[in-house]
Amino acid sequence: MMSAKEEKRIAFNEQMNAWVSRQGLWFQLRHAAEGQSLMARMTRLGGRLLLVVALLAVAIWIYLFNRIERDGFREDVRISLEETFRAESCEVGEIRKERELATLAYIKLEGSEEAFYEHLDARGVRTSVSLLDGVYGAWDGKSVLINRLDIDLKAGGSDDASAAKSFAALFVEHDGFTFERFESPDANLKWGYSIRNQGYISNSQLSASREGDGWRLQFKGGNFGQNWLRPLKIENMVVMCSPRGVIIEEAQLTAEDGSGRLTFDLAVGSGSQPSLNGKLTIESMPLDTLLSPAFNEWISGSISGQGTISGSTNSQQGVVFDIQFELEDGDQLVVRDSIPILSALTVVDLYNSYRRVPFDQGGFHLRSGSDLFHLDQIDLQAGDLLHLAGAVTVRPPSIKEIAQALNIENVEQVKNILEKNWKYQDDVLVDTQTGSKLTGATPQSVEQGSQAGLSQPQDAVESVLRSAILNERGVKRYEGAIKLGLKADAFDKAPKLKAAYPVDAQTNRIWMHTPLEGRLQTLTLSQAERLYLLGRKRQ
């Protein structure tokens, strides 16, 4: 057992230690060395200083490691992005750090008047980050990986000054964050404000790197579309963006199945209506990639050609294609008797069949722009069976033609619906006030349109009328004329036809002049009816 004196000493020491600990670290460092040698004092002091430094280092490390996931850091990033990209508004999702990578769940930007985009949405943004990035010097992200990138690009501006500001914003660098390249395995870009100049790149693998004072972008895979071109598969596309402008140095595209080839280069000018200047080459491209699906039952095959690209991505004229098409080796245009006049010829000509006419020689010239297609210099030959020549223009219907097609006497009623209530957007009619789309719309959904021109439909009849007018707006009209060169014996068994269409002695062919007017479904119908009528009595 301890003596009473020993117990008192232990109790005193415990009380003394407790009192000393309450005096703080500095008091302990000052008085701990009393009664000790200089070396002992320095050793104890150094040990305690190391302990303090270690504790501070751990605290700083924990702060630096966790600062990226704090709300304050995310707000700093949001403000920085909003300023750098000249956004009207910016949303930033959760930020997480895993090892040397920072991941932003999403970034959503709405462009201001000075931005180069209308909308920008980036999902799953990852970049390199170290503990001291942004604390000591700039944050060097090295490279940025974006899981999905969606950008609605501006195609010009209201005036040259605003367009210049928007374009210059593409090259602004932020002092607090630097990177040399960015990639996205799923990049989606859109441009153009109307069906005359809209284009897109979708689901493409994008790699971009700094080059001089600009950016070099490379797209692989995915689809490219522009105006009337059907989606084309991207093999390779290289785009150079610099303060001096945008140049598509090379673009190699094919049909979805890999057949055919379309290559082009293009320089995009500056200003509110940036001009386009480029050349394209088409090699054995399937027609279904160049034509609307409405033509699939009429015509098929492949064709080649060379031409130019001009116009603007922000003008009434839109993007203009001027192409001279030719049937090269291996090309063929197959026209079927879904065309009324060919169906009639199959009936009245007992010696030849026009169910499937394979043109393998010749060509034609095409110019598209301002929502018009003009085909001229048509000169196609299907061996000795049939020659085809002429010209035709494809255009939207006039307000009067829409009214006539629907038997509407009040033309103003049609005009009000088309000009005040609706507009074209992505080839779909869209209500200008509600944003609702007409495609697949029921009478109830169509009633959500604005009240301009027609008051809100009071019954199903008015609703169906509105829908019919808007759909008729999308039905193209054709005007022009072609002439068909038939074999000399085509009407030998039909005397009235032979008398009406004599053989041309110079070419030894029967030439039929056929006007083209109206809708696609009724082209050559009146001529076909005349053939049936004159060819009823045969020898």
Mean pLDDT of the chain: 79
Q: What is the pTM of this model?
A: 0.75
Q: What is the pLDDT of residue 269?
A: 80
Q: What is the mean pLDDT of residues 424-449?
A: 42
466: number of Cβ within 10 Å: 24
Give pLDDT tens digits for 241-275. 888 888 999 999 999 889 999 999 999 887 777 88
372: number of Cβ within 10 Å: 16
Q: What is the mean pLDDT of residues 13-31?
A: 64
Q: What is the pLDDT of residue 443?
A: 34
Q: What is the mean pLDDT of residues 447-475?
A: 62
Q: What is the pLDDT of residue 461?
A: 65
- Spatial separation of the C-alpha atoms in residues 490 and 425, rounded to whole Å: 48
Mapping DSSP to helix (H, G, I), strand (E, B) and coil, where does residue 385 land? coil
Amino acid identity, position 461: V
Give pLDDT tens digits for 402-436. 888 888 888 887 887 777 554 444 344 444 444 44
Q: What is the mean pLDDT of residues 14-19?
A: 70
Q: What is the pLDDT of residue 426?
A: 39
> Which residue's structure tokens are 């043109």?
359
Whether residue 457 has pLDDT greater than 80: no
Give pLDDT tens digits for 120-165. 999 998 887 665 454 445 566 678 899 999 999 887 766 777 777 7
Asked whether the beta carbons of 334 and 299 are under 8 A apart, the reply is yes
- Spatial separation of the C-alpha atoms in residues 225 and 232, rounded to whole Å: 6
Q: What is the mean pLDDT of residues 224-247?
A: 89
Whether residue 182 has pLDDT greater than 60: yes
Closest to 124 measured CA to CA, from 103, 152, 99: 103
CA count, 13 A, side-chain hemisphere, 58? 5
Give pLDDT tens digits for 304-343. 999 999 988 777 778 899 999 999 999 999 999 888 999 9
The distance of Cα 54 from the centroid of its chain, to the nearest Å, equals 55
CA-to-CA dists, residue 372 to 59, 320, 457, 489, 528, angstroms: 70, 10, 33, 38, 27
Share of the chain above pLDDT 90, in %: 37
Whether residue 445 has pLDDT greater than 50: no
Phi, psi of 201 (to 5 degrees): -125, 130
Q: What is the mean pLDDT of residues 38-51?
A: 59
Give pLDDT tens digits for 346-381. 999 989 999 999 999 999 999 988 788 899 999 999
CA-to-CA dists, residue 340 to 29, 507, 514, 522, angstroms: 107, 25, 12, 8
The distance of Cα 478 from the centroid of its chain, to the nearest Å, equals 29
Q: Which two tokens stand for residue 147?
A: 């899981």
CA-to-CA dists, residue 315 to 75, 152, 155, 194, angstroms: 39, 17, 9, 9
Torsion of CA 4, 7, 8, 11, to 10 degrees: -160
Q: Of residues 200 and 294, which shows the higher confidence score?
A: 200
CA-to-CA dists, residue 466 to 396, 405, 439, angstroms: 18, 14, 13
